[in-house]
Amino acid sequence: MRFVPTPLAGAFLLEPERREDDRGFFARTWCDEEADAAGIAVRWVQCNVSFNRRAGTLRGLHFQAAPHAEAKLVRCTAGAIHDVIVDLRHGSATFGRWFAAELTAANQRALFVPEGFAHGFQTLADDSEVFYQMSAAYRAGAGRGLRWDDPELAIRWPHAQTRTVSARDQSWPHLADVALHGEFRRVG
């Protein structure tokens, strides 16, 4: 598998290297040794799945506050998503910057999201399914979020006309409001 760095330090796109023959293919989707070589030391403790009936469904931007901060490995197992991460690590050279990648069942890429990042996605196809590996168990009291449409972030989301967003995700604060309350972990 290939660990392709993103413009946000510590975040990677993972591309499986397929071994194909007349039966189909085989590909590794995670390897601790290869992750260690890429500078990723993480232990997965929980797996989640999100099924989304309609294209345009937007979920996020979510994160967990310390001490329950979590790394994620996100993969689209059916359909397609526009996957977005935002660096929330104070002191990071890319604090407040975002990165997006298209993850599809066909391209089989995954996005490694380090601790200290918010994460969200918008579906690009009906019946899209997203599989997450998590480094920390979900704690409802630690759950936080950012507005997906924060003008300071200026994230370019697809499907503006057919967007479906939950009331909860529409109620999250803007980055400036959350940052004032020291929600983010420090880098270094």
CA distances from 68 to 5, 40, 135, 174 (A): 25, 18, 9, 21
Which residues fall within 8 angstroms of residue 38, CB to CB, at 6 or more apart? 3, 12
Active site residue 62: yes
Q: Is 138 a catalytic residue?
A: no
Q: Where are the alpha helices (DSSP H) in 38-183?
A: 167-170, 175-179
Task: Specify whether the CB–CB gap between 72 and 116 falls below 8 A.
Answer: no
Helix or strand run (H / E) with residue 28: none
Residue 157 near residue 98 (C-beta atoms within 8 A):
no
Distance CA 74, CA 76 (A): 7
Q: How many CA atoms lie within 13 A of 106 on its CB side?
A: 6
From the list 68, 82, 119, 132, the catalytic residue is: 132
Please give the positions annotated as active site: 62, 132
